[in-house]
Structure 1
């Protein structure tokens, strides 16, 4: 692959504004490229989409590309991302395609690709797709070999049966679930009820305008859920993003669970080898030390976590964002199974608030600076060359993903460009809140000065 080949994939598939970054031409080309790469005539490709208004349009364009290269398209309709990954594996398909922009606003859409084992395409596979599109090396077929379309919605019941078999939950836990009017609006509340939970569902009517709340499960967007959990005395609240590959928990006091602490207690419960990213807190390491476990760190992005799980035969992997992978079930991130895991912890060890409060706190700031995509490369070059000079007591500069700078007292900061949005992200952890704000201000001022 040569450097002039345009990059289409970010940290989680292809994503952008409909009509600008995501066009019908791109969708058709993706269909033809994945068909050409995955085997051509007779190949089986699973195809699903979330609740966005542009999804059927893009689905039809992708389908046209697949059919033009002789593929057999297995349509599962509106479905959360974990169901697409599962269906790709369960149906022994050659690839899976999920049409979604995950947590992005409604004017966005995107495409994610999945391997036969339910794992997201690796970077080298994504580069191959980019190369096929750039060189137009499509393996199209004649009229007599055009592929066929089949609806296989029965795989939903298989997913429900298999995911329930993974759960060890007793009846009675009171759960409020917020599906963001997204792809899991029907499925997540149904599964929670089937395992015995008493469920109150909000924003669980699919709607591509996301009228209940925006699909990013942030504290700002989850205020209604937090109030309801506390008001009705629920044991836990669960929130998904638009495609439900993520899960955010609300404790019984109506507080959003600290991302890092929640990841840490789940890692501790699973034990063994776990994978997380360079932006995850040291509290995961502390919890794993308690059970003799081992933490493996990798680049930000669920595909990198998946690769590290596979390469290291790890038992679990997750990002602080709530994107968790359960390799004993499927290599696709699954926010619904993640919710079941946290409910199990509540039943086993008591209130979630007590479990989280028992984990040591390290002041953490996750911030972002607006930055156009064309500026990112030059800004990151300056960050690599100069940022460590303005910070105090620097002991290590790690460039595995962006720039992570560690200081003598254990404080650290990670600067990296977003792979899906027009931001430079600042993530840091410090020994006290004053130092955290000082580091954040120094880094933001430095980046804003470059812009």
Structure 2
């Protein structure tokens, strides 16, 4: 396949011809997420949360869900910016310093950050401490097995902490290592019926 084999068409023409259609799945996505969480418990907690979507799309769905959960929200960097405000769009400790300061100095219960396409997250606790994604994964897996009573192994990629392997063994479950990439994780989760 070469560039000459690719047919190019203006988006407006493709839309008018019915070749392409734009679909908004926001409501379906929010509904699916809300089936997985305890909105009543979140409402009861009366949380004050600061969010940094890092100029990406994450605030849309997360904002809807947390608003429906009656959380009091402050959103930093909420407009879309393809240059991400001149910083790395990865939610690492250096990139979310303003969120850390906001949470620590503003008496928030929690801070949440996500990268531009919202597939990576970071959490800041009420004292402004950055919680690494590896720790989030450990807490989540432990919660699913010990609190929710779910059973199943865990899949991690080669860049993720080996502590997940130890936790799975401690909980009587298997762990599976795959290459980096959601396609590898998803396939292994299905193949091994993992959490």
TM-score by length of structure 2 reads: 0.80
Q: How does 1:16-415 map to 2 (within 5 A)?
A: 29=6, 147-153=18-24, 155-169=25-39, 170=41, 171=43, 172-211=46-85, 213-271=87-145, 272-315=152-195
Whether contact under 8 Å (1:261, 1:284) holds in the other structure is no
Distance in 2 separating the partners of 1:157 and 1:147 = 23
Post-superposition Cα deviations, 1:23-75, rounded to whole Å, max 9, x if no partner, equal xx69x94xx6xxxxxxxxxxxxxxxxxxxxxxxxx9x76x59xx5xxxxx7xx
Distance 2:183 2:155 in 1: 12
Q: Distance in 2 between matches of 1:239 and 1:176?
A: 9
1: CA distance, partners of 2:83 / 2:109: 30
1:179: Cα distance to partner? 0.6
Contiguous gaps of at least 5 residues in structure 2: 146-151
Residue 221 of structure 1 and its aligned partner are, at CA, apart by: 0.9
Distance 1:212 1:186, change over 3 A: farther
SS of the residue 1:185 aligns to: helix
Aligned-pair distance for 1:229?
0.9
| CA-to-aligned-CA distance 1:392-415 (integer Å, 9 cap, x gap) | xxxxxxxxxxxxxxxxxxxxxxxx
Count of aligned pairs between the two proteins: 184
Is the 1:265–1:287 Cα contact (8 Å) retained in structure 2?
A: no
Q: Which residue number corresponds to residue 380 of structure 1? A: none
1:191 is paired with a residue whose SS is helix
Q: Which residue of 1 aligns with 2:149?
A: none
Q: Is the 8 A contact 1:180 1:241 kept in 2?
A: yes
Structure with greater strand percent: 1
- CA RMSD, Structure 1 to Structure 2 (Å): 2.9
Aligned residue for 2:49, secondary structure, equals: strand
Structure-2 separation of matches of 1:150 and 1:281? 41
What residue ranges of structure 1 are gaps of 5+ in the alignment?
A: 7-24, 33-57, 68-72, 74-145, 316-451
Structure 1 segments, 4+ long, off by >6 Å, are none
Equivalents in 2 of 1:212, 1:236: separation in Å? 25
Scaled by the length of structure 1, the TM-score of the pair is 0.37
Q: How far did residue 181 of structure 1 move? A: 1.0
Return the index of the structure with the highest Cα Rg: 1
Indicate conservation of the 8 Å contact 2:122/2:132, yes or no: no
